[in-house]
Amino acid sequence: MTQSSPPQTNKWAVALTVILPTFLEVMDTSVVNVSLPHMQGSLNAGVDEVTWVLTSYLVANAIIIPITGWLAGVFGRKRYLIFSIIVFTASSLACGAAPSLELLVLARILQGLGGGGLQPLSQAILLETFPPKEHGMAMAVFGMGVVFAPILGPVVGGWITDNWSWRWVFYINLPVGLIAVALAALLIHDPSYIRRARIHIDTWGLCLITVGLGCLQVVLDKGEREDWFDSNFIVTMSLIAAAALILFVIVELHAKHPVVNLRVFKDRTFAAGNVMMFMGFFCMFGSFVLLPLYAQTLMGYTAMWAGLVLGPGGIASLIMMPIGGVLMKKGVKPRRLLALGLSTMACALWLMSGLNLDADFLAIALPRFLQGFGLGLFFVPLAASTYVNIPREEMGNASGIFNLLRNLGGSFGIATATTLVSQRSQLHQTFLTEKITPYSPALREYGQHLLQLFPGHNPSAANSPLALAAVYREVMRQANMLAFNDVFWLFAWLTAILVPLTMFMKRAKAAEAPPPAETTH
Considering the domain architecture, whether residues 430 and 372 belong to the same structural domain is answered as no
Q: Residue 320 maps to which CATH number?
A: 1.20.1250.20
The arithmetic mean of pLDDT across residues 378-395, rounded, is: 81
Contact between residue 143 and residue 305 where contact means Cβ atoms under 8 Å apart = no
Q: What's the CA angle centered on 365, arms 363 and 368, to 5 degrees?
A: 120
Give how many domains the chain has, as a whole number: 3
157 and 287 co-located in one domain: no
pLDDT digits (tens, 9 = 90+) for 450-473: 656 555 555 555 555 656 666 777
CA distance 521 to 519: 7
Residue 442 has pLDDT above 80, yes or no: no
pLDDT band at 511 (very low <50, low <70, confident <90, very high): very low
47-92 tens-digit pLDDT: 667 777 777 787 788 888 888 877 887 778 888 888 989 999 999 8
Q: Answer whether residue 158 shows pLDDT above 70.
A: no
| pLDDT of 429 strictly over 50 | yes
Burial class (CB in 10 A: 0-12, 13-18, 19+), 506: middle
Q: What is the pLDDT of residue 514?
A: 43
Backbone angles phi, psi at 405, to 5 degrees: -65, -30
Please say which residue of 200, 228, 249 terminates a domain.
200
| Gap between the Cα atoms of 472 and 476, Å rounded | 6
Does residue 188 share a domain with residue 55? yes
pLDDT per position as a tens digit, 4-39:
444 456 778 888 888 888 888 877 776 776 677 777
Residues of the chain with pLDDT > 90: what percent? 8
Report yes or no on 255 lying in a domain.
no
| Res. 240: pLDDT tops 80 | yes
Helix axes 77-97, 11-27, angle to 10 degrees: 40
For the residues 210-227, what does the mean pLDDT come to?
82
Residue 515 has pLDDT above 60, yes or no: no
Q: Does 469 lie in the same domain as 372?
A: no
Going 501 to 502 to 508 to 513, the CA torsion angle's sign is positive
- Predicted local distance difference test score (pLDDT) of residue 2: 39
Q: What is the pLDDT of residue 493?
A: 94
pLDDT surpassing 60 at residue 507: no
The answer to whether the beta carbons of residues 312 and 247 sit under 8 Å apart is no
Q: Answer yes or no: is 233 within a domain.
A: no
pLDDT per residue over 261-309, tens digit each? 888 888 888 888 889 989 988 998 888 778 877 887 888 877 667 767 7
Inside any domain, residue 17 = yes
**230 part of a folded domain:** no
Average pLDDT of the chain, as a whole number: 79
Structural domain contains residue 60: yes
Q: Which residues contact 431 (CB under 8 A, 6 or more apart)?
A: none
For residue 520, the model assigns a pLDDT of 37
444 and 462 both lie in a single domain: yes
Q: What is the domain range of residue 310?
A: 261-416+490-521
